[in-house]
Structures are given as C-alpha cells and as structure tokens.
Amino acid sequence: MHVVIRPAVMEDALAVFEIKEHLRLKLEELDSKQNGGFLLGTSLEEYKKFIQNDLVLVAECDQPEKVVGFAIVIRHETLAQSTLMQRSAQVNWETSFRLRFHARRIAFFEQLGVLPEPAYRVYAKYLAFLITQQVLQTHEALFTTVLQFPFVNTAALPFIKIAGFELVGAVDEIYPEYGRIKSDVYHLERKDFENSIEQPRFKIFLKRVGCLGYLQQ
C-alpha cells in the first residue's frame, strides 16, 4: 500500500465529508474514556468552500484507491470574515498571551480526520505536520482548539506538544447538536515551529517524512 499526501481538489469533497461522517461525534457515544479522534458536524457544502478558499490536504491510498484522511487550515483572509473571529471574544485568554500577541496574519487549524484503521491512522501525523509547515510559510501564527469537555481529545495532543503549540486560553460554548463544549485554545508561532523542527526528536520524524517523499509535496 502506498499513500500520497496532496492538495485537495473539488472532487475530493464527498470523500472528505464521508470520513467526517465516519468520525462524527454522536451524543450517544460520549464516553469519559474516549481516546480516539472525532469530528463535529460539517456539511458537504462547507467542505467544498474549504477546498476552494483555504488549505486542504488529503491522504490518498492506492490499494484500494481512496481518500483515507484530510487536514484543513483556514487561511487569514477567510478567517477574518468568519464567525470564528467573532467567537474569539468568548475565549478566556491567558493574560500574558494577550499582552504579547502581535501577529498580523493568523490561520486556524480547523480539522484533521483519518479513518480509524491502524494502516491509515499513522498518516494523521504526516498530514498535521505538512499542513502546519505549509501554512506557516505564509502566516505568522496558527491557532487550534482541543476538546476538554465532555471528554479530552487525546488524539490531538502528541502533535500539539512536539510541534511547539502553547496553551493560551479556553472557551466554553453551546453547540445546538451537542450541548456544552469546552475546549482549550492553542497557539503556534512560526519561530517556535522552526525551533521545534530543529530538535533531535523532530529530526528523526523529518527523516521519515523525507523517506516517504512528503517533503517534496
């Protein structure tokens, strides 16, 4: 089996939507011991807009031929006109972060989804790294959120830690379909990411990325 990671095209929208449906968090499945990945609801039309306007990568398997994972980052231009910017006023920001944050071009890591089979799940870290690397070439900082209630999304934490993300706030929201959702807010500056990838542990990972050919994508 060979898996390529490439920019998404409009024809990938349905496959991305179907992966989301497979991973979608359902109220009846809530469990305090949940430790896998999941996604909240997003429509097919929204995925088409992401592919058209933002940065979307997909992991595509050749045997069988299908998209098995994706990552989405919302660019600054889209973010500036989105409800996410309005919701930022609801974030309980760390005081020290508010005082020192000056980035002008920011992006938001919206979603990462990979089919749960072990053969595919391993590619989540490659999607996360490549999309982070790409977006920080044109943006000064990247934000993301990690669910803390009704349970912790532990699947996201290893990459967040190794990439150099900093915990900078928390947000408590009500989603019509899910009820109360509490999330931590993380922030990664370009300079901190560049420092992280120079660390010995990350260099081992980069060697693997290079062997798979992904650094040339």
Residue 173, CA distances (Å) to 66, 92, 102, 217 in order: 35, 11, 26, 37
- Indicate if the pLDDT at residue 179 is higher than 60: yes
Instruction: Using pLDDT thresholds of 50, 70 and 90, give the confidence band for residue 1.
Output: confident
Instruction: Using pLDDT thresholds of 50, 70 and 90, give the confidence band for residue 48.
Output: very high
Instruction: Using pLDDT thresholds of 50, 70 and 90, give the confidence band for residue 36.
Output: very low
At residue 24, the pLDDT reads 80
Element holding 54 (H helix, E strand): none
The runs of H, that is alpha helices, within the chain are 13-23, 44-53, 76-79, 83-87, 95-100, 118-121, 124-135, 157-163, 190-196, 200-211
Over residues 35-39, the mean pLDDT reads 55
Q: Is beta strand 65-74 parallel, antiparallel or unpaired with respect to 92-93?
A: unpaired
Residue from 8, 36, 167 nearest 91 by CA:
167
What end-to-end distance do the CA atoms of the chain give, in Å?
A: 19
Over residues 188-198, the mean pLDDT reads 97
Query: For residue 18, what are the domain limits?
Result: 3-216
Q: Which residue has the higher pLDDT, 90 or 27?
A: 90
At residue 140, the pLDDT reads 97
Q: Give the pair of three-digit tokens for residue 8.
A: 């998404």
Apex CA 186: angle with CA 46 and CA 162, to 5°? 105
- Indicate if the pLDDT at residue 185 is higher than 60: yes
* Helix, strand, or coil (residue 51): helix
Question: How many structural domains is the chain composed of?
Answer: 1
Q: Give the pair of three-digit tokens for residue 211.
A: 């062997």
Whichever domain contains 30, its CATH number is 3.40.630.30
Instruction: Using pLDDT thresholds of 50, 70 and 90, give the confidence band for residue 152.
Output: confident
Q: Are 168 and 185 in contact (CB under 8 A)?
A: yes
Rounded-to-integer distance, Cα 84 and Cα 80, Å: 8
